[in-house]
Amino acid sequence: MSLDNLHVDALVVGGGIAGMQSALDLGDQGFQVALVECEPSIGGKMITLSKVFPTLDCCSCITTPKMSAVAHHPNIKLFTYCDVQSVQEADGGYRVNLVQKPRYVDASKCTGCRECEYACPITVPSPFDRGLGAYRTIRVPFSTAVPQVAVLDMDYCILCGKCEKVCAAKAVDFNQQPEPFEIQASTLVVASGFELTPLGAKKEYGGGKLRNVIDPLMMERFLAPTGPYGRVLRPGDGKEPTSIAYVQCAGSRDTTLGIEYCSRVCCMYAIKQAMLISGALPLAEITIYYMDIRTFGKGYEQFYQNAQAMGVEFIRGKVASIREDDDQNPVVKVELTEEGRTIERTHDLVVLSLGMVPVPGSNTALNLPLGSDKFIAIPAPNASPCATAHPGIFVTGAAMGPMDIVDSIVTASSAAAAASAYIREHKKEAVYA
Amino acid sequence: MPENTPNPESPAPVEPEEIRVGVYTCHCGGNISHVVQCERVAKMVGKLANVAVSRTDPSFCSDAGQAIIEQDIKELGINRVVIGACAPSLHEQTFRGAVTRAGLNPYLYHHVGLREQDSWVHASDEEGATEKAMRLMAAGVAKARLLDPLDPIRLGAEKQALVIGGGVAGLRAALDIARQGIRVTLVEKSPFLGGRMAQLESIFPTDEKPRQLLHDLIQAVTAQVGITIFTQAEVTGVSGYVGNFSIQVTQHARGVSPEMAEALTAACTQETPDPFNYSLTRRKVIYQPYPGCYPAAPAVDWQHYDGQPIQVNGKSIVLQDDALVHELIAGAIVLATGFDPYEPRQGEYGYGELSQVITLPQLIRHMALVKNGETLTWNGHPVRSAAIIHCVGSRELDGVHEPQADGQVNNYCSRVCCTASLHTALEMRQRFPRLNIYELYQDIRAYGRGHEEIYRHTQNAAVRFVRYHGDDGPKVIAAPKGDPYPVLVQVKDYLTYGEEIEIPVDLVVLAVGMMPRQVDDLVNMLKISRGADRFLLEAHPKLRPVEMAVRGIILAGTAQGPMNIQESLAAASAAAAKAASLLSLGKVELPPFVARVDPAKCNGNGACVTACLEEGAIALQTFVENGVEVQRAVVTPANCTGCGACVGACPNRAIDVQAWTLAQYDAMVDAIAMDWPELVEVEK
């Protein structure tokens, strides 16, 4: 494909599972697609997960081939580590200004051999492992990253030059600057994803302060085979937990947080993690404190019933607060709403089942109208479920509200169908011979 | 001469290439390596004859993992690849892509399912699982030595699609496929488009009017170039394969001509319960379901028309169903066959026994029929108090709920009933302010965008919530004579800490779940699968969420599982994207795993033809060999599914399924059955 003039049929913003699927569906139909990702690798949140419900497929088994398919697709051009700066309507389509952030590594030369990483003396907490693990200041982001190109974090680099010396490809370039560039696209597909409700959002739960109160993505890293420790242990003292609790709706359905909506995925991920922990720590007792269990998807109710049969304890109750005892054990104060009394229970580890919020800043350049939930508004959900208020801009995945992977993939294909119809009708091609 | 003429002369001898097998034992991110000692397996396999390299990796399916294999093919001259990993259904295609990119024929690769066939089922026996992995991998190598390069069967694909079902999902799928330049035939069983959505009055969470939305969608569909619509039509025959399905559609007559429609409808006296209103009302057998329906012309309900003449203008007219049969070709088939509301069995929560017990869909129709006023009535009595019971026909438990005729209970959640109930309760509250409304639920599943707000509004609208446990559900009984209310609902309420309460009501509304529309004929004709929940089964919930395992068959909407309208629309558009991806290039490739006859061994006895399960896949043809006419079996690859029935039937071992030959099986069995000392010897 010729991208010299950077003219494409569709530009997909976001290289998580939704963006990848939209790009693949458009590319498979013969459209030229640019996929823009702000991180150094595509894969999004999904690539950091352990296993996925309700099939308990290992997550990399589903994600990495999609990443690979995107990377090798003849009709898809990948732009990683790029930010969208602005979007303007132009020539019946959109002119998108982007900036390639400096990797300090020449992507065209880097072979992904990781010699720089082995030579680098500076270790920093790895966001891929939610800060639980560490990586080097220069590194390939993670083992299955696409592209396999190193990136250097200038905030931590001491400019010792060791990486430059060991790089056989002479790819390290400390003088790289941000490079602005432009892409013209007939249509945009926004797949900017989600963030978790901040861990400390609900003060009463002590998230961010109590060391053994963690977020669910941390637990995913504990459970993932590629995780930092290869096992489940509590971050406070490295002890293997024998009593683990999940606090549901810890960032959803809570008007005090301004997050009134249900985040849809928390019930299922808590149940899934409980099952995986039961496998990893057969003696551990797992309790899920909930208001309503919302296992509404295909095969989800059976999944919930299986967890009950496995001995996961479900307690209907609203957690009021969490404090810490002298041994760093979180003590959960919970109102048992089926019994009308309040109890305190001590656990080794508490996972706050945080909800989904939009990625801060993800709409700055696009400036699309938002719903009352701050996710991108869909003006006619029962007619065009992926169309934003701007003609020619479509949205998919968690950027349009909380949703799980299955729903993200379906809406991604749906957005691709809407975008491709728009492209064809826009080009006013005679589609029938 | 037929295309598959056997060549009596043996092919010119080719210089045998040196077989160099690359073997890759995948950890599968721990799925395999937590049980199987992959390094030991790799080491042992590495010592087998012809194996040039044997490696392990945390995940060979990743881009980096695939790159290792590609590099080996290019740099080490690997010409046979064996990968031990997950099930081939997951990643055989992935690795075939990698092998192709490296320049090797994609069928010189064999996939061993070490995860499903070994580590997952022998999780508690590491040593045994490791030995089994060695044997499976050794068998893979034995087979790989005998692999031949193959070419996929390339066929032209008709740029035409068939959509079955004219509800909201089918309409959307048809529109979106046609917008991609692919012609669509839409087949709807009933005389009118719109499906179940037309029976609703207001859609949550936007409070839009469903028939207006349907009208807009149908307008778009009818205005779209390239869509042909058959109403009162059913698919009565399917043959062929992806890219080239031959379809027979039987279409019933509308029964009344446009010029006679009005007079005939007026003169028609025969009536039948109106399914549009869930039998709450009756309608004539010449009917339109609702004003503004499409097509607007009335149609005859052939199922209920008794064949008696209708008197019009002194003439006696007997309506005739002159059914038409259409033959179509389609490259892909979209199934949008929809759902039916769960029909409670006789006596379930008093349904069918107490006249005051109805379903939520019935209530929605009833409220549409009730003229605006202050009071809701039922059977002529004012309704002062109504209870909505959630999860009827959903979330049922084995051993608690009575099984249905097929012995199953519906243990799935129907996902739309919670918000639909709350939304209906809100409407009742608005229209009938003095009505007492109770919602008896297990969990409120207001999961969607804007649904939680509806739940909150309902809580603030003086709707009373009662929480019951699924294994101890509500009981609906007739009230004793003299009671002010005709029906009592007895339930243990866990919002009041397990208190036994009795709710006196005038009306009980069962929030019934969704059941798949009965499509046995289609399932048999298309050879497709249903899940344990009886809904049509997708190939993989994440990798191919709207496609079925049979290529070219795509799912849209509630045929696949409970969905609301927004979700059905998204699924339908996704189905359209898949159909467009499949057909837009005008050609499809089928795997070459089809039967192949060795004419030198075939003696024309025809056992294979008798055994064959497919139409037109294998047949005897006459050839002249050395001046003598002989019969030989000939395969038509496009019709062959590679099932192997002919292979087993042939007494001469003259037939093989390509890539799964008898010689390859023999070699695999020998390798699997290798003596243990021999295996240990190799491992050393």
B494 and chain A: CB distance < 8 Å anywhere? Answer: yes
Indicate whether B8 pLDDT > 60.
Answer: no
- A404 and A269: one domain? no
Mutation target to probe the B interface, by most B beta carbons within 10 A, among A61, A289, A394, A405 is A61
- B241 and B267: one domain? no
Q: Percent of chain A having pLDDT more than 90?
A: 88
Least confident of A118-132, A164-178, B2-16, B180-194: B2-16
Residue A17 lies inside a defined structural domain of this protein: yes
Q: Which H or E run contains B467?
A: strand B464-467
Q: How many CB atoms lie within 10 A of CB A93?
A: 21
Three-state secondary structure along A330-372?
EEEEEEECCCCEEEEEECCEEEECCCEEECCCCCCCCCCCECC
Nearest alpha carbon to residue B29 among A37, A56, A236, A167: A56
pLDDT band at B2 (very low <50, low <70, confident <90, very high): very low
How large is the angle between the packed helices A17-28 and A405-427, nearest 10 degrees? 40
Number of domains in chain B: 5
- A377 and A363: one domain? yes
**A113-137 mean pLDDT:** 93
Q: Residues with Cβ < 8 Å from B230, sequence gap 6 or more?
A: B185, B186, B187, B188, B249, B251, B326
pLDDT band at B543 (very low <50, low <70, confident <90, very high): confident
Burial of B274 (0-12, 13-18, 19+ CB in 10 A): middle
**B319-334 mean pLDDT:** 96
Please state whether the peptide bond connecting residue A147 to the residue before it is cis, i.e. omega within 30 degrees of 0.
yes
Task: Please give, rounded to a whole number of angstroms, the shortest distance from the CA of A292 to a CA of chain B.
Answer: 5
Residue B137 maps to which CATH number? 3.40.50
Higher pLDDT, B2 or B13: B13
- B145 and B168: one domain? no
pLDDT band at B63 (very low <50, low <70, confident <90, very high): confident
- B418 and B469: one domain? yes
Residue B234 lies inside a defined structural domain of this protein: yes
- A121 and A96: one domain? no
Contact flag A65-B61 (C-beta cutoff 8 Å): yes
Q: What is the pLDDT of residues A377-411, one digit of tens each?
A: 999 999 999 999 999 999 999 999 999 999 999 99
Q: Residues with Cβ < 8 Å from A291, sequence gap 6 or more?
A: A248, A249, A253, A316, A318, A337
Q: Percent of chain B having pLDDT more than 70?
A: 96
- A90 and A230: one domain? no
Interface of B with A in 373-392 (CB under 8 A): none
Indicate whether B557 pLDDT > 90.
Answer: yes
Task: Please give, rounded to a whole number of angstroms, the shortest distance from the CA of A326 to a CA of chain B.
Answer: 34
Residue B6 lies inside a defined structural domain of this protein: no
Q: What is the Cα gyration radius of chain A?
A: 23
Residue B603 lies inside a defined structural domain of this protein: yes
Residue B247 lies inside a defined structural domain of this protein: yes
Predicted local distance difference test score (pLDDT) of residue B4: 44
- Final residue of a domain: which of A355, A383, A403? A355
Q: What is the pLDDT of residues A348-378, one digit of tens each?
A: 999 999 999 999 999 999 999 999 999 999 9
- B167 and B267: one domain? no
Task: Please give, rounded to a whole number of angstroms, the shortest distance from the CA of A228 to a CA of chain B.
Answer: 13
- B290 and B167: one domain? no
- A74 and A147: one domain? no
Residues from chain A contacting residue B450 (CB–CB below 8 Å):
261
Q: What is the pLDDT of residues A294-303, one digit of tens each?
A: 999 999 999 9
**B476-483 mean pLDDT:** 96
Indicate whether B566 pLDDT > 60.
Answer: yes
Indicate whether B372 pLDDT > 80.
Answer: no
Residue A171 lies inside a defined structural domain of this protein: no
Predicted local distance difference test score (pLDDT) of residue A5: 61
Interface of B with A in 202-221 (CB under 8 A): 203, 206, 208, 210, 213, 216-217
**A98-127 mean pLDDT:** 94
Higher pLDDT, B8 or A336: A336
**A296-312 mean pLDDT:** 96
pLDDT band at B429 (very low <50, low <70, confident <90, very high): very high
Q: How far apart are CA B176 and CA B195, in angstroms?
A: 18
Q: Percent of chain B having pLDDT more than 90?
A: 84
Q: What is the pLDDT of residues B646-680, one digit of tens each?
A: 999 999 999 999 999 999 999 999 999 987 666 66
Q: What is the mean pLDDT of chain B?
A: 93
**A180-203 mean pLDDT:** 96
Q: Which H or E run contains A406?
A: helix A405-427
- Final residue of a domain: which of B127, B150, B173? B150
Predicted local distance difference test score (pLDDT) of residue A4: 47
Indicate whether A2 pLDDT > 70.
Answer: no
- B350 and B468: one domain? yes
Interface of B with A in 96-115 (CB under 8 A): 97, 101
Residue A172 lies inside a defined structural domain of this protein: no
- Number of A/B CB contacts below 8 angstroms equals 235
Predicted local distance difference test score (pLDDT) of residue A288: 98
Number of domains in chain A: 3
- A201 and A187: one domain? no
- A46 and A124: one domain? no
Residue of A62, A411, A431 lying closest to B570 (CB–CB): A411
- Final residue of a domain: which of A338, A355, A372? A355
**B87-115 mean pLDDT:** 92
- B560 and B638: one domain? no
Residue A370 maps to which CATH number? 3.50.50.60
Residue A394 lies inside a defined structural domain of this protein: yes
Residue A253 lies inside a defined structural domain of this protein: yes
Range of the domain at B474: 343-515
Task: Please give, rounded to a whole number of angstroms, the shortest distance from the CA of A401 to a CA of chain B.
Answer: 7
Q: Percent of chain A having pLDDT more than 70?
A: 97
- B144 and B174: one domain? no
- A217 and A296: one domain? yes
Contact flag B449-A375 (C-beta cutoff 8 Å): yes
pLDDT band at B345 (very low <50, low <70, confident <90, very high): very high
- B488 and B360: one domain? yes
Nearest alpha carbon to residue A187 among A91, A98, A99, A100: A91
- Final residue of a domain: which of B115, B131, B150? B150
Residue A153 lies inside a defined structural domain of this protein: yes
pLDDT band at B15 (very low <50, low <70, confident <90, very high): low
B176 and chain A: CB distance < 8 Å anywhere? Answer: yes
Contact between B594 and B642 (Cβ < 8 Å): yes
DSSP state of B115: I
Residue B636 maps to which CATH number? 3.30.70.20
Contact flag A297-B415 (C-beta cutoff 8 Å): yes
pLDDT band at B31 (very low <50, low <70, confident <90, very high): confident
Residue of A62, A225, A261 lying closest to B30 (CB–CB): A225
Predicted local distance difference test score (pLDDT) of residue A1: 36
Q: What is the pLDDT of residues A407-417, one digit of tens each?
A: 999 999 999 99
B67 and chain A: CB distance < 8 Å anywhere? Answer: yes
- A156 and A226: one domain? no
Q: How far apart are CA B173 and CA B336, in angstroms?
A: 8
- Final residue of a domain: which of B150, B177, B199? B150
Predicted local distance difference test score (pLDDT) of residue A339: 93
Predicted local distance difference test score (pLDDT) of residue B674: 83
- A59 and A186: one domain? yes
- B561 and B626: one domain? no
Amino acid at B186: L
Residue A110 lies inside a defined structural domain of this protein: no
Residue B399 maps to which CATH number? 3.50.50.60
- A188 and A321: one domain? no
Residues from chain A contacting residue B64 (CB–CB below 8 Å):
112, 143-145, 148
Task: Please give, rounded to a whole number of angstroms, the shortest distance from the CA of A325 to a CA of chain B.
Answer: 30
Contact flag B203-A382 (C-beta cutoff 8 Å): yes
Residue A109 lies inside a defined structural domain of this protein: no
Taking the alpha carbons of A251, A252, A253, A256 in that order, is the dihedral positive or negative? Answer: positive
Q: Which H or E run contains B110?
A: strand B109-113
Indicate whether A431 pLDDT > 60.
Answer: no
Contact between A80 and A147 (Cβ < 8 Å): yes
- Final residue of a domain: which of A355, A372, A402? A355
- B57 and B206: one domain? no
Tokens of A208: 């961010």
| Closest residue, chain B, to A224 (C-alpha) | B29
Q: What is the Cα gyration radius of chain B?
A: 31
- A311 and A399: one domain? no
pLDDT band at B89 (very low <50, low <70, confident <90, very high): confident
Range of the domain at A185: 7-100+178-193+359-427
- B164 and B80: one domain? no
Q: What is the pLDDT of residues A325-334, one digit of tens each?
A: 999 999 999 9
Q: How far apart are CA B108 and CA B80, in angstroms?
A: 5
Contact flag A410-B447 (C-beta cutoff 8 Å): no
Predicted local distance difference test score (pLDDT) of residue B677: 66
Contact between A250 and A199 (Cβ < 8 Å): no
